[in-house]
Chains A and B, each alone.
Chain A
Amino acid sequence: MTDKQTRRVLDIKNLKVDFETNTGTVNAVRGVDIHVNAGETVAIVGESGSGKSQTMMAAMGLLASNGRTEGEVVYENGNILGLSIRRLNQIRGKKITMIFQEPMTSLDPLYTIGRQLAEPMVEHGGLTWKQAQAKALDLLKLVNIPEPERKIKAFPYEMSGGQRQRVMIAMALANDPDVLIADEPTTALDVTTQAQILDLLAELQKRLGMAVIFITHDLGIVRKIADRVYVMKTGEVVEQGETRRIFTQPEHAYTRMLLDAEPTGHKPPVPDTAPVLLEAQKVKVEFELENGFLQPKHILRAVDNISFALRKGQTLGIVGESGSGKSTLGRAVLNLLPASGRVVFQGQQISGKDRGAMRALRKDMQLIFQDPFGSLSPRMTVGQIISEGLLVHEPSLTAKDRDARACQALEEVSLDPSMRNRYPHEFSGGQRQRIAIARTMVLKPELVVLDEPTSALDRTIQKQVVELLRDLQKTYGLTYLFISHDLAVVRALSDTVMVMKKGQVVEAGPVEAIFEAPQDAYTKELIGAAMLTQRQMMESA
């Protein structure tokens, strides 16, 4: 990043991408100019659907078959847009390479890492298998994979998400590329892993001097690594400039909205006199893993001896990386999983109750999921989805009453009740999450377990959902168990925070104490990696 040359290695001029669909032409990208200089890191920022990925896919000739392109993509004084696949393959994958969001699906599960790294070198680079293996090992060392000699013989499933992403980076680096296009490479990873991958990319760029185009929706990452930023909205670049300038003096209203989208504010504390609604004592969840025929069973302790108490109106934030057992804890508390320990809800012990006995209590304890695309039944109308709970818990209601209640619930989450006869796929992600919230609110619950309710949403939508949740809590005195890996959201919503790692609580306490003065090393690492913006730090001070 230090010795910046002004030579443009990739220059996208007035690129347009259209898709022909059944319902007409969709203009995904409408005349975009983006260039990247040698050795520079450029970030393209925008929400989902802004066309940021399609721009780069079009430049690489990777569009879906119904896509059409127009414009110029200049690489080394030649337009590469619309080249034949043969010619294009001499450039892409060698001189311009890409890494994608999903390291899980980008590797073939049937071959070892070494073979997958070596194969293109043998097929296209003319190396022997032995040379290629040696080079693969060098590459694995380059991307800092621990024990590279052993990992080269490993299969993808034996590696963690972060390691797989490192392998993908190694593949992209195999032919000394001039440009590396990284399409949300860290979105599927945990915050601490994300920070490591970003450090690795920055370091590699310094050493190899390539240009990096970084596609992301996460402004925290942009701020950390990019030299210049392009902000995209609905297929157009609305603002561009030096990173520092964009962050300090944003010109376009949309950029300001993006910057402003970090959830803010704090939850007013609940008086100590409020009754305890939920109490968990020494909750333990164990999964038996079959190790194959005649092998002893392996026991995985997903939740290990966790206790907490939650007063009415309080919010407990549970923070941790994937695999830390936080979602399992949420389900165990709702008695959706077999767990040992004692859970008391509204003065009744619910642990150990069977499904039939739980049914009456389900009305008061609800669950909201992360994925608004998966949690709504695709073949039911929104009205049916919302009123299904009434069918179970208030069977005396007539169809008309149920419909009226569904309308009311839709209004509460600021959706137009006239849309209740539509189907979930006709709604955007944010709207679907509102529908999921309406489904729980129609039953007027006491306790709501929110399992990463904002993680699948864009930042600006996230902020709206957070505000909606906060309003609902205020209006109905709801109690939340808020599970998230997103520290900014947890901070804005919670009274107390529990940090989990490998099924155990490493640190717990009031939200301010945890964020201002974390004690445990792991908590510190999490907070450091989350890159909470300066503005928030100042606000909380």
Chain B
Amino acid sequence: MSVTTPDIVAAPQRGRSLWDDARDRLLANKAAVASMIVLAAIALLSVFGPILSPHNFDTVYRDYVKVPASLEAYPKADQVQPAFEALVKRARLNLESYERVGDQVVVEVTSRRAIDPRSVRYIDRSDMFKNAALTDLADEDKRGTLTADINYLHFYFGTDANGRDLMTRTFIAGRISLTIGLLATVVAISIGVIYGATSGYLGGRVDQLMMRVVDILYSLPFIFFVIMLVVFFGRNFVLMFIAVGAVEWLDMARIVRGQTLSIKRQEYVQAAEAMGVSDGGIVRRHIIPNTLGPVVVYMTLLVPKVILLESFLSFLGLGIQEPMTSWGVLISEGARNLQGSAWMLIFPSIFLTSTLFALNFIGDGLRDALDPKDR
């Protein structure tokens, strides 16, 4: 070719895609980066927290119902003696002397009848003591020395109204809430994007029909819809995100359809048409990749919405069932016990709100990163 091209510069092999640019702009956004770190921390805690925690999420500590959050271990020093005395009394023994040796309690007990060695079970059954043992039996077994180790437990977030460790429950609730948020969003996005892009691209009567279906689904009350599903299929975790996803894709379909209508008139789509590319190829290669910007942004805003929806359903009793829990359930319990045990509301709320905040900031950051002109 005889043509000269002075505007060519020596170029690296690999090109920078628009996504690369967007990622750089996103990483330059401090609020978004901080939010991503927070979100990652919460996600890691939710996944590994219940495994690492010394408590099971459904273990009931009857002696520790509604104990406040504390960095110190339970039982507290002043709780030990009265608790032990009460236990000894329940075992129908008389307390003669009380002595505390380090983490061990040593008492002398007497009884009118011979002491049954099985009565140590009364002590062991308590959450505060373990390894109770009866030694030095004398006076025809009517006198003896009772020793028991103090069972130290940590409840950093306190316990709930049933005496379950709130920290473990918050973590396990995070698993449920984040999973529902993510899965329902994925369900909503995949249906919505495919449906909206198809409807918008095909246009005409097909578009009319497809969008009227969306309108009809819109007019169904969400709660009614969920109750119907629950009645037919029973309460089920999977059902929940299907229900939520099945409702939330409607918004997505409308957004994507609108995007598609404008992308359809772009010259690169006309160019593909002129080249004989099939409808499927155009939707797949040209339309969907170009709608993904707003879709990604909408997704980060949809996840918190779904988490809140799940909380609402659980609040109504249509969602997660005991002993499994979610942030929404924990918060609704916390709200009922607000007087006197505020920690039951505070800790799950901190997790839920920081997740929502983080997702919203990430969404904002993504919008700016993907559309720098609109800032």
List the interface of chain A (C-beta within 8 A of B).
Answer: 22, 334, 336, 358-363, 366-367, 369, 371, 374-382, 384, 388-389, 391-393, 411-416, 418-419, 421-423, 425-426, 428, 430-431, 434, 436, 439, 443, 461, 464, 467-468, 471
Contact = CB atoms under 8 A, between A and B. Distances in A.
Interface string B281-299: 1000110011010000000
B86 to A, nearest CB: 69
A377 B285 contact: yes
B308 interface: no
A423 B267 contact: no
A414 B276 contact: no
B285 A380 contact: yes
A391 B286 CA distance: 14
Contact of B28 (A22, A411, A439): A22
Contacts of A362: 274-276
B101 interface: no
B24 A22 contact: yes
Contacts of A358: 276
A101 to B, nearest CB: 18
Chain B interface size band reads 35 or more
Contact of B8 (A378, A411, A431): A431
Interface in B204-235: none
Interface stretch (B15-23, B108-116, B178-186, B331-339): B15-23
B13 A418 contact: yes
Interface of B: 1-5, 7-8, 11, 13-19, 24-25, 28, 266-268, 270-278, 281, 285-286, 289-290, 292
16 contacts: A336-B273, A366-B274, A369-B270, A374-B268, A377-B286, A380-B286, A380-B289, A381-B15, A415-B5, A421-B14, A423-B18, A430-B7, A436-B271, A461-B7, A464-B5, A471-B2
Contact of A468 (B1, B268, B277, B278): B1
A391 B281 contact: yes
A416 B286 CA distance: 25
Contact of B3 (A367, A369, A471): A471
A116 B18 CA distance: 40
Contacts of A414: 1, 3-5
A475 to B, nearest CB: 9
A467 B5 CA distance: 12
Nearest to B269: A377
A391 to B, nearest CB: 7
Contacts of B19: 379
B286 to A, nearest CB: 5
Choose among B270, B273, B275 the residue with the greatest number of A CB atoms under 10 Å from its CB: B275
B14 A334 contact: no
A418 B5 CA distance: 15
Nearest to A335: B274
Contacts of A434: 5
Nearest to A419: B11
B29 to A, nearest CB: 12
Contacts of A375: 267-268, 270-271
Contacts of A366: 274-275
A393 B11 contact: no
A327 to B, nearest CB: 11
Given A378-B18, A423-B17, A393 B276 contact: yes
A329 to B, nearest CB: 15
A376 B15 CA distance: 15
Contacts of A461: 7
A443 B17 CA distance: 26
Contact of B290 (A378, A381, A382, A468): A378
A51 B28 CA distance: 29
A468 B274 contact: no
Nearest to A379: B289
B130 to A, nearest CB: 62
A485 to B, nearest CB: 18
A421 B16 CA distance: 8
A474 B322 CA distance: 79
Given A369-B267, A392-B281, A419-B11, A379 B3 contact: no
A499 B292 CA distance: 43
A381 B274 CA distance: 19
B15 A359 contact: no
B267 A374 contact: yes
Contacts of B24: 22
B285 A467 contact: no
A416 B271 contact: no
